[in-house]
Chain A
């Protein structure tokens, strides 16, 4: 049985994929240049928080939770109830 050269069987795009992912992660981490506390005026805005209004977001998310097939990704737990309608 002839041996399979897996490296040669991959397309150029597939071979570049791990490299692209690694480069993206390095670029993201490289973006973590230190910002001094006195330079955080803009970062301190309430609108820069991950969730600006958690009680309101929870009610909005409940609509998505039961009217879409996809759940997860908010970083918090799913709701409850059958949402049969």
Chain B
């Protein structure tokens, strides 16, 4: 039953394709994403989005997404909770305006709902091309408000506010090179632990407790180089630190090649992080902050991704149709998390984008 709900946006997107093809310039995208790991966690995501241009200056967009999560992962079961399953719905809308050829401004809103979590997200951006379009400056600001509600014997209601921002610079370095730099910062204030994780210390159970305030900063560098034969090399490096004491970084290298109606690509991404300063594999006594969150432990992971796209010839009313398939194989290795040492898995997604 849940699976049929999840496939609904995908089916809706396929049905909507002909209707949107009759409309003015725009695009419709529909896709299905699957995540599965060896710890019995499965996620099926189905999403559909559409955008259209009005008067060459205004672009409107909308999207709908459904996540279906089921997990019997060892770290979930160990915390004396049964295998869980959940459904998340997300709807969003966006509006962008191009006042002149070199400036764009826009805003978006998204709402996400699951049985114990509801959030509202608003954001705005401004982008300006400078120096004869050799340099693009972009600014982005966002705000999220989330409500976490748990019913039953341990009922409680908490909120989480987030203030986010980023500045981006995209340089054209030459006829074949582009370099992008993104500096991001955010401040989270409110409940950030899990309402379902408990630690046992001296035979007594204690609820997980994280600091209410978490400041985060990240710096990303991306480089693209165009080789002959339509081969493009893409590299990325990111550095991250936060007030919990987590220091992290990732590096990614990949290529894309366009070959007639097809394009193919591959990439490798490696990530590593240190543990939060208040994380301990085993707490000997109760402390102000306690956590069993494996995302706050020391670990590293690697994702190897293969992708292929095809652009079949379609009717004259349609500008382009692109069908893409990508699959990633990943592995996590945890340094000091007591319930999980490693995690292997795969993600796959199939999507179709119609432009007209």
Interfacial residues, chain A to chain B (CB-CB below 8 A): 28-29, 31-35, 39-43, 45-48, 50, 52-53, 55-56, 58-60, 62-64, 66-82, 84-85
Contacts and interface: CB of A to CB of B under 8 A. Distances in A.
Contacts of A31: 171, 173-174, 177, 179
A20 to B, nearest CB: 16
Contact of A70 (B222, B240, B349): B240
25 contacts: A31-B177, A35-B175, A42-B176, A43-B175, A47-B230, A55-B31, A55-B49, A59-B47, A64-B271, A68-B273, A70-B240, A70-B242, A70-B248, A71-B240, A72-B166, A73-B220, A76-B140, A76-B166, A80-B112, A81-B117, A82-B114, A82-B146, A84-B86, A85-B41, A85-B84
Interface residues of B, number: 93
A84 B196 contact: yes
Contacts of B134: 32-35
Contacts of A69: 242, 244, 246, 248, 273, 276, 295-296
A12 B172 CA distance: 34
B175 A52 contact: no
A39 B175 contact: yes
B209 interface: no
Given A52-B256, A75-B166, A59 B88 contact: no
Given A28-B179, A32-B173, A42-B175, A72 B248 contact: no
The winner among A46, A68, A72, A78 for most chain B CB atoms within 10 A is: A72
A41 to B, nearest CB: 8
B135 interface: yes
Contacts of B250: 70
B351 interface: yes
Contacts of A59: 31, 33, 45, 47, 349
B84 A68 contact: no
A58 B94 CA distance: 15
Given A32-B171, A70-B248, A85 B347 contact: no
